[in-house]
Chain A
């Protein structure tokens, strides 16, 4: 296969994930930049990916919102209280 500047969208989107953790090497970074210049959908994915990363981080720190399950936790609360001595 001859070396090429062109990469597929599938490859580009994996590189977008990688890029959020490590610095891409020069050549790979260039390929991604070039791809993003030409591809609107990947540009969009790039933004979506970063947003999703931030929202997940927020969610798992419980700063996002979760619907609380509908359960009567009275017994659990009482059990906990009884152990607080």
Chain B
């Protein structure tokens, strides 16, 4: 007698492959910028998921679960390939966000002080705003984006992240500061 339970599971899983491959692939491509690597990561994600299907809780969303697995794979990939995050000089010197935003005295330049977008709570759930914001994140310089993604792909304290990236916390805040200045500016240009 064929194991119908197993067949059912396999069919369900095939639906997931059809439903989520594109989304997973897009994400992996954003994070690695390599087509082949992105494809491999997506494949590894599905195989890993398939082998630990018993860990999946029916109550959670398959998409969230698959993305959590993929994010771990991405971090593994970063670690294994020692993706160079910490070319600090490169991150800090190649960016004009400080000069663009602040004058010699360290105060806001006049043109940046206009409050073009107001950060009220509703924006967090605003679909269009999130969409625009994701475009701005992906537009960050790649080294800076690597540090930011390294932080947010994992739920780890800044202290641990700094140890792994071999940078000091003060350098980390500097990078985050500049990333946010760039994001703020990017949003300012598109969100009026």
Interface size on A, residues (CB 8 A): 46
Kindly identify which residue among B27, B39, B180 contacts A52, using a CB–CB cutoff of 8 Å: B180
Interface residues of B in 91-144 (CB under 8 A from A): 98, 101-102, 105-108, 112-113, 115, 117-120, 123-124, 127, 129-131, 133-135, 137
Q: Is the CB of B108 within 8 A of A9?
A: yes
Which chain A residues border B50 with CB–CB below 8 Å? 84
> Looking across the interface, which residue of chain B has its beta carbon closest to that of A51?
B119
Task: Give the total of B residues in contact with A, Cβ under 8 Å.
Answer: 63
Partner of A68, one of B23, B43, B158: B23
What sequence of 0s and 1s flags, for each residue 42-69 of chain A, a beta carbon within 8 Å of any chain B beta carbon?
Answer: 1011011111101111111111111111
Q: Contacts A14-B174, A60-B152; is A44 near B106 (CB within 8 Å)?
A: no
A18 in contact (CB, < 8 A): yes
In angstroms, Cα B124 to Cα A18, docked, is: 22
B180:A58 contact, CB within 8 angstroms: no
User: Contacts A55-B124, A64-B130: A10 and B106 contacting too (C-beta < 8 A)?
Assistant: yes
- Closest A residue to B74 by beta carbon equals A60
At the interface, yes or no: A4 with Cβ under 8 Å from chain B?
Answer: no
Knowing A8-B107, A41-B115 are in contact, say whether A55-B153 is a contact too (CB < 8 A): no
Does B34 interact with chain A (Cβ within 8 Å)?
A: no
Q: Inside 8 A of B79's CB, which chain A residues have their CB?
A: none
Is the beta-carbon distance between A80 and B64 smaller than 8 angstroms? Answer: no
Is A14's CB under 8 angstroms from B27's CB? Answer: no
**Cα A35 to Cα B154 with chains together (Å):** 33
Check: A1 CB closer than 8 A to any chain B CB.
no
Q: Is A27 an interface residue (CB 8 A)?
A: no
List, in ascending order, chain B residues with CB within 8 A of A50's CB.
119
Asked whether B25 lies within 8 Å of A62 as measured between CB atoms, the reply is no
Q: Is the CB of B17 within 8 A of A64?
A: no
Residue B84 at the A interface, CB < 8 A?
no
Give the distance in Å from the alpha carbon of A83 to the alpha carbon of B133 in the complex: 37
Q: How far is the CB of A4 from chain B (nearest CB, A)?
A: 13
Q: Which residues of A contact B (CB under 8 A)?
A: 8-11, 13-14, 17-18, 21-22, 40-42, 44-45, 47-52, 54-69, 71, 73, 76-77, 79-81, 83-84
